[in-house]
Amino acid sequence: MATKAPVKALLVAAVASGQGKTTVTAALARKLVRSGKRVRVFKCGPDFIDPMLLERASGAPVRTLDLWMVGPEQCRGQLAHAAAEADVILIEGVMGLYDGTPSSADLAREFGVPVMAVIDASSMAQTAGALVHGLRDYGPVDMAGVIANRVASDNHAKMVAASLRDIPLFGTMPRQTRSLPERHLGLVLPGEVNDIDQLLDALADQLVFDEAAWDQLRAIDIATPPAAPETMPALAGKTIAIARDPAFMFLYPANLDTLRALGATLTFFSPLADEAVPDGADAVYLPGGYPELHAEALSRAHAWRSSIRAVHAAGTPIVAECGGMMALADTLADQSGATWPMAGLLTGTVAMQPRLAGLGPQGLPTEQGILRGHTFHYSKLATTLQPAAHTIKHPSAIPGEAWYRAGSLTASYFHAYFPSNPAATAALFLRSPV
């Protein structure tokens, strides 16, 4: 019989991006941790950067929840595991509450999680009530309360609170004199901000919330799903070398868990530090990241470039996603327009674009079924190489990203979520039969 673990949980959502969801979630997590609570944070929807910041704020690993990419049962299992070891679960939503198929609202309803609405109150007062009631009733969702961001004064907060009627104003934050730094793909990586912990503490100090309202939040029951079938160790005895440094940081922790569950031994190296692919690697995984910010250094990393060419020539499987693929093209033009030579395993040139060039959930058809994931990039690859396949966009089912094969290299802008299809994942890292 399934067990249940009651826990206080909130899905932090908003009417749109830019309202301050990540700031508020990070501030709330840090404030609760400092009060002695055990906090687990999740991110709704595909994202690499926000989870790093939220992990720093909460002091615990942050995993992905997505009803399509991750799947309801894996989401439930992650929530149940967190409920067994935490006092509070916070889930940061994606975009607006009802945006996407599935949306943050769909996730909240699936697991009975109350919604905490974050609103940017800087240019409104009483209209806040109309906005929040619309957010609650459109779905509907269980609206636990509101955190008003960028509030100008106590009187401003009182006007917002009065407009909410039967929905409590859970907390307020003033306009931040210093916010979390951003760049083209989202927030700056936490490790690049020297005083990130002081900034998180300052945000927590600025968050004023109603202790009584917090005490009245109901706990939810999350049923533990049946144990998932054991993953067959198709990569037993294989060593996979994984690039990990500031140029290659976009990696789902669950992907590493899946590779280990498949039996692989993982070893990490830094192309940016001009480290060669480790000796004895049976496969190489180059995840996404920010190669465009480090293009000059990568162009001068001669040991890295010669080693990846050598393992490719030896027929070693190489899986390159987004930034990993960019680093294997002939050249990479950065945001200033400067062009730098890359490893040259994939015929073509990469250039940064002024606007987003790809975004959204997609699935890669394979012999083992659909491997789900997403795409999010500002660059474009110009190549004469014909794609071996295309991903399929969700939910439109139209063709998505090109998926290339060049010898033992498979490369695409597509970021795969390995737990969605372990068998297809294993096939990517195994040598093709001769």
pLDDT of residue 212: 84
Count of H-run helices and E-run strands, the chain: 13, 25
Q: What is the CA radius of gyration of the chain?
A: 23
pLDDT of residue 354: 86
pLDDT of residue 60: 95
CA–CA separation, 395 and 398 (whole Å): 8
Tell me the pLDDT tens digit for each residue of 139-184: 999 999 999 999 999 999 999 999 999 999 999 999 887 666 654 5
CA–CA separation, 184 and 220 (whole Å): 37
- Residue 222 makes CB contacts below 8 A (sequence gap 6+) with 4, 5, 7, 9, 76, 79, 80, 83, 111
Tell me the catalytic residues: 322
Sign of the four-CA dihedral 46, 421, 395, 353: positive
Burial of 228 (0-12, 13-18, 19+ CB in 10 A): exposed
pLDDT of residue 293: 92
The pTM (predicted TM-score) of the whole model is 0.93
pLDDT of residue 356: 82
Choose among 89, 110, 93, 111: nearest CA to 14. Answer: 93
Neighbours of 35 (CB within 10 A): 13
pLDDT of residue 2: 42
Q: DSSP labels for 302-355?
A: HHHHHHHHHHHHTT--EEEETHHHHTTEEEEE-TTS-EEE---SEEEEEEE-SS
Pairing state of beta strands 219-223 and 4-14?
antiparallel
Sign of the four-CA dihedral 244, 245, 247, 250: positive
The separation between CA 331 and the C-alpha centre of its own chain, rounded to angstroms, equals 27
Instruction: Name the token pair of 304.
Output: 């890295």
Sign of the four-CA dihedral 92, 98, 100, 106: positive
pLDDT of residue 434: 45
Domains observed in the chain = 4-223 (3.40.50.300), 239-428 (3.40.50.880)
CA-to-CA dists, residue 252 to 46, 50, 119, 193, angstroms: 9, 12, 29, 21
Instruction: Name the token pair of 53.
Output: 């910041």
pLDDT of residue 368: 96
At residue 106, φ and ψ (nearest 5 deg) are -60, -40
Output the 3-class SS for 119-159: EECCCCCCHHHHHHHHHHHHCCCCEEEEEEEEECCHHHHHH
Helix (H, G, I), strand (E, B) or coil at 360: strand
Query: What is the mean pLDDT for each group of 10 consecutive residues in the chain (434 residues)?
Result: 70 94 95 95 92 94 97 95 94 96 97 97 95 97 96 96 96 82 54 79 93 86 82 94 96 96 98 97 97 96 98 98 98 93 97 88 97 95 97 97 97 98 97 66
